[in-house]
Structure 1
Amino acid sequence: MRVVSLVPSLTEAVAVTLPGVLAAATDWCSHPVDLDVPRIGGTKNPKTERIAALAPDLVIANEEENRPADLDALRAAGLEVLVTEVRDVPGAFAELARVLTACGAAARPRWLEEAEAAWSAPPPVAARRPTAVVPVWRRPWMVLGRDTFAGDVLARLGVDHLYAGHAERYPRVALEELRAAAPDLVVLPDEPYRFTAGDGPEAFGGLPCALVSGRHLTWYGPSLAEAPGLLGGALRAALC
Structure 2
Amino acid sequence: MRVVSLVPSLTEAVAVTLPGVLVGATDWCTHPAGLDVPRVGGSKYPDLDRVRALDPDLVLLNVEENRREDADALAAAGIPVRVTYPRTVPGALAELADLLTALGAAREPAWLATARRAWADPPRLAPARRAVVPVWRRPWVVLGADTFAGDVLRRLGVENVYARHPDRYPRPELAELRGRDADLVVLPDEPYRFTATDGPEAFPGTPCALLSGRHLTWYGPSLAEAPALLAAQLARPVTAPAERAP
The residue that corresponds to 1:108 in the other structure is 108
1:60/1:99 contact within 8 Å kept? no
The residue that corresponds to 2:86 in the other structure is 86
Q: Secondary structure at the match of 2:131?
A: strand
Q: Secondary structure at the match of 2:93?
A: helix
User: What aligned pairs does 1:4-153 form with structure 2 within 5 A after superposition?
Assistant: 4-124=4-124, 126=126, 128-153=127-152
Residues of 2 paired with 1:36 and 1:125: CA distance? 39
Residues of 2 paired with 1:186 and 1:216: CA distance? 17
Shift of the alpha carbon at 1:124?
3.8
**Counterpart residue identity of residue 160, structure 1:** E
CA distances 1:16-59 after superposition (whole Å, capped 9, x unpaired): 00111110000110101111111101111011121111111111
Q: Secondary structure at the match of 1:40?
A: coil
**Counterpart residue identity of residue 210, structure 2:** L
Shift of the alpha carbon at 1:125?
7.1
Residues of 1 paired with 2:159 and 2:98: CA distance? 29
1:58/1:103 contact within 8 Å kept? no
Indicate the RMSD between aligned Cα atoms, in angstroms.
1.3
Q: Secondary structure at the match of 2:152?
A: helix
The residue that corresponds to 2:181 in the other structure is 182
Residues of 2 paired with 1:125 and 1:156: CA distance? 9
**Counterpart residue identity of residue 25, structure 2:** A
The residue that corresponds to 2:202 in the other structure is 203
Aligned length: 239
**Counterpart residue identity of residue 202, structure 1:** E
Residues of 1 paired with 2:101 and 2:220: CA distance? 14
**Counterpart residue identity of residue 6, structure 1:** L
CA distances 1:61-108 after superposition (whole Å, capped 9, x unpaired): 111111110011111111110111110000000110121122221111
CA distances 1:209-234 after superposition (whole Å, capped 9, x unpaired): 11111000000000001100010111
Shift of the alpha carbon at 1:7?
0.3
The residue that corresponds to 1:225 in the other structure is 224
Residues of 2 paired with 1:104 and 1:64: CA distance? 26
Residues of 2 paired with 1:20 and 1:109: CA distance? 16
Distance 1:190 1:124, change over 3 A: closer
2:190/2:213 contact within 8 Å kept? yes
CA distances 1:183-228 after superposition (whole Å, capped 9, x unpaired): 1111100111111111111111111011111000000000001100
**Counterpart residue identity of residue 49, structure 2:** E
Q: Secondary structure at the match of 1:237?
A: coil
Q: Percent identity?
A: 69
Shift of the alpha carbon at 1:237?
2.0
Q: Secondary structure at the match of 1:118?
A: helix
**Counterpart residue identity of residue 51, structure 1:** V
Residues of 1 paired with 2:186 and 2:122: CA distance? 21
CA distances 1:143-198 after superposition (whole Å, capped 9, x unpaired): 00000000000000011010000000001011011111121111100111111111
Residues of 2 paired with 1:170 and 1:228: CA distance? 23
Which consecutive unaligned segments of at least 5 residues does structure 1 have? Answer: none
TM-score norm. by structure 1 comes to 0.96
Residues of 2 paired with 1:201 and 1:125: CA distance? 20
Residues of 2 paired with 1:60 and 1:122: CA distance? 29
